[in-house]
Amino acid sequence: MKKTAAQLLVDLLQSHGVDLVFGYPGGAILPFYDALHQSGVRHILVRHEQGAIHMAEAYARVTGRPGVVVVTSGPGATNIVTGLADAKMDSIPVFAICGQVALSSIGSDAFQEADMTGISHPVTKYAALLRSADEVAIRFAEAWHLCISGRPGPVVLDFPKDVQNEMTAIVHAEPDLPERFMRKQGIAGDVQALAIAFNRAQRPLLLVGGGAINSQASSEVQAVALKTGSAVSTTLMGLGTFPANHPLYLGMPGMHGTACANKAIMECDFLLSLGMRFDDRIAGQARNFAPQAVRAHVDIDSSEFNKRVIVDHYIQGDLKEVLQELIPWLDHKELPDWAAMIEQGKRESPLEYAESEEVIKPQGVLKRLYHKTGGQSIVATDVGQHQMWAAQYYHFDRPNRWL
């Protein structure tokens, strides 16, 4: 049975569990919107396309499923580029569908024409121009697979208006990607050697990033810390992976982190970095980072290894699977001297601010919000000082609550 390319794309989204999209309509994407209107998929209408893609990012962060954004051609599409770059940097699965001028008009500087495929290539995992209705099924399959597999990230389908109205009988296809993208990623590296080095440690520290949330590895991270007596510090992206009120928790590292977390990094003898990328806000002086430690790194993306901080051990693979393999090799031990150092560091250098009866202190507002909500709210921030106050004073005890 034939159907329009627009209808097919809506059907494919629904077959993959999509029941909510974020978008802003325009002329070049109207055939897709007509099909969407008939589908029962809920549509969140925004006031600006950048809002749509940031909403899609938030949806993906909270649910773990791809956030879908729909925009029109030209300025509608280019308005989501910042969100695509953000999702690429933070490994957020976002699926973008962009209207495009008719195929016959591409390259003629037609009204609201922009080369969205070319523009988005540097900030996506995959971008494709749909040149015929018969391409829709296979390009969708490739884009969806890459969006959610390996290190998640954003993808773009550029959808010319005339192609949206074309009919096709090809309603299903398997991805036609290089074999390395299709096989399930295993674990590469010597887990046993990593465990031996870990078991020698007397002052171990886990540095946990957003990869732990993407791989749903919070319980494994906690199991490693409790079994080995490791202190835990989470990056801005990793907040909520480890309970903020636990005695082993140090807060964030780096320039906006806590003194005790940074002191522990300088004094630890074993540093295990999990799903994080050593950005310059954490490891400003990369050569002097954790100078006393045997350094190890686990990440799904091998390009992160030794990019800024040189490590002694690295394991590539899904973080949850790597930790599940690692845990049986780890010795159960208590480290009272290390625990005492952690407690002393938190006691001597707490996050603090000057209380006032004259003005409202933002730190106090965040502390009050935490207590009023019991730490159960989803917290969304912009970027800047208020974001740092929220990260520092609203304590996250669960993953997928911090946007």
pLDDT of residue 183: 77
Instruction: Tell me the per-residue pLDDT of 185-232, one tens digit each, with 9 for 90 and over.
Output: 789 999 999 999 999 999 999 999 999 999 999 999 999 999 999 999
What is the longest distance spanned by two Cα atoms in the chain? 72
Neighbours of 244 (CB within 10 A): 20
Position 288 confidence tier, pLDDT thresholds 50, 70, 90: confident
DSSP state, residue 249 = B
pLDDT of residue 369: 95
Q: Is the confidence at residue 32, as pLDDT, over 80?
A: yes
Residues in a beta bridge with 21: 43
Residues contacting 375, CB < 8 A, separation 6+: 244, 394, 395, 396, 397, 398
Q: What is the pTM of this model?
A: 0.91
**First CA to last CA distance, the chain:** 43
Give the residue from 336, 341, 366, 331 showing the smallest Cα distance to 351: 366
d(CA 334, CA 189): 27
pLDDT of residue 25: 97
Position 317 confidence tier, pLDDT thresholds 50, 70, 90: very high
Please, are residues 61 and 400 in contact by the beta-carbon 8 Å criterion? yes
Please, are residues 189 and 321 in contact by the beta-carbon 8 Å criterion? no
d(CA 10, CA 60): 19
Share of the chain above pLDDT 90, in %: 90
Measure the CA angle with vertex 180, ends 175 and 185; round to 5°: 105
Instruction: Determine which of 67-71, 111-115, 184-188, 372-376 has the lowest per-residue pLDDT on average.
Output: 184-188
Residues contacting 384, CB < 8 A, separation 6+: none
Instruction: Tell me the per-residue pLDDT of 53-109, one tens digit each, with 9 for 90 and over.
Output: 999 999 999 999 999 999 999 999 999 999 999 999 999 999 999 999 999 999 998
- Burial class of 110 by CB neighbour count within 10 A (0 to 12, 13 to 18, 19+): middle
Q: Is the confidence at residue 184, as pLDDT, over 90?
A: no
At 14, the amino acid letter reads Q
Position 178 confidence tier, pLDDT thresholds 50, 70, 90: confident
**String of DSSP letters for 147-192:** HHSSS---EEEEEEHHHHH-EES---------HHHHSPP--BS-HH
pLDDT of residue 67: 98
Torsion of CA 297, 301, 307, 311, to 10 degrees: 20
pLDDT of residue 1: 82
Instruction: Determine which of 76-85, 128-137, 343-352 has the lowest per-residue pLDDT on average.
Output: 343-352
Instruction: Determine which of 152-166, 170-184, 304-318 has the lowest per-residue pLDDT on average.
Output: 170-184
Instruction: Tell me the per-residue pLDDT of 1-20, one tens digit each, with 9 for 90 and over.
Output: 899 999 999 999 999 999 99
Average pLDDT, the chain: 95
Q: How far is CA 253 from CA 201, 250, 391, in A?
A: 20, 8, 11
pLDDT of residue 111: 93
Torsion of CA 136, 141, 143, 144, to 10 degrees: 130
